């Protein structure tokens, strides 16, 4: 399957939210995250990137906050997992966040999930586990 990557626009939010609702781990447990919550991560607080198939459907997306260094989202549709899409989105996002001058990034994810292993594999350091959430940091290598 071909996959293209580009910065997200407001037109992608519907597709991003569809992926967010489709994942099988770190699932939404309420309606707290709605489509309007993606908007600040397009420009004001950070940036988002999407992975698209040939039909232009969103297969995955990532969103990072340049003010706090927090990874707000990294989600790949379950049907598209294990093909390097998550890693590609991750690498684009962290390269941009570090390019803004941040020296450390942070995130949390559910313990015993595929994502926990993914971040360990990508070089993130576990700093604590609290309320079934694993907290990681990634420091910029000078």
Ligand X SMILES: CC(C)(COP(=O)(O)OP(=O)(O)OC[C@H]1O[C@@H](n2cnc3c(N)ncnc32)[C@H](O)[C@@H]1OP(=O)(O)O)[C@@H](O)C(=O)NCCC(=O)NCCS
Which residues of this protein are in contact with ligand X, per CB under 6 A? 23, 25-26, 74-76, 81-87, 107, 109, 113-115, 117-118, 121
Residue number with CB closer to ligand X (5 or 118)? 118
Which is nearer to ligand X, 13 or 89 (by Cβ)?
Answer: 89
> How many angstroms separate the CA atoms of 132 and 110, rounded?
6
Closest to ligand X by CB, 57 or 81: 81
Tell me how far, at minimum, the Cβ of 86 lies from ligand X, in Å. 2
Three-state SS string across 54-116, please?
Answer: CCCCEEEEEEEECCCCEEEEEEECHHHCCCCHHHHHHHHHHHHHHHCCCCEEEEEEECCCHHH
Shortest distance in whole angstroms from residue 123 CB to ligand X: 11
Instruction: Report, in Å, the least distance between residue 107 CB and ligand X.
Output: 6
């Amino acid at each position: 399957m071909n996959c293209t990557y580009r910065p997200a626009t407001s037109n992608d939010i519907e597709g991003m939210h569809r992926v967010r609702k489709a994942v099988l781990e770190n699932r939404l447990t309420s309606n707290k995250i709605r489509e309007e919550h993606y908007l600040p991560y397009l420009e004001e607080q950070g940036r988002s990137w999407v992975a698209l198939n040939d039909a232009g459907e969103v297969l995955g997306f990532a969103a990072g906050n340049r003010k706090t260094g927090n990874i707000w989202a990294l989600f790949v549709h379950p049907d598209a997992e294990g093909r390097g899409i998550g890693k590609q989105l991750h690498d684009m996002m962290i390269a941009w966040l570090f390019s803004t001058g941040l020296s450390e990034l942070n995130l949390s994810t559910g313990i015993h999930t595929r994502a926990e292993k993914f971040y360990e594999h990508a070089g993130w350091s576990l700093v604590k586990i609290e309320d079934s959430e694993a907290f990681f940091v990634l420091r910029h290598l000078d």
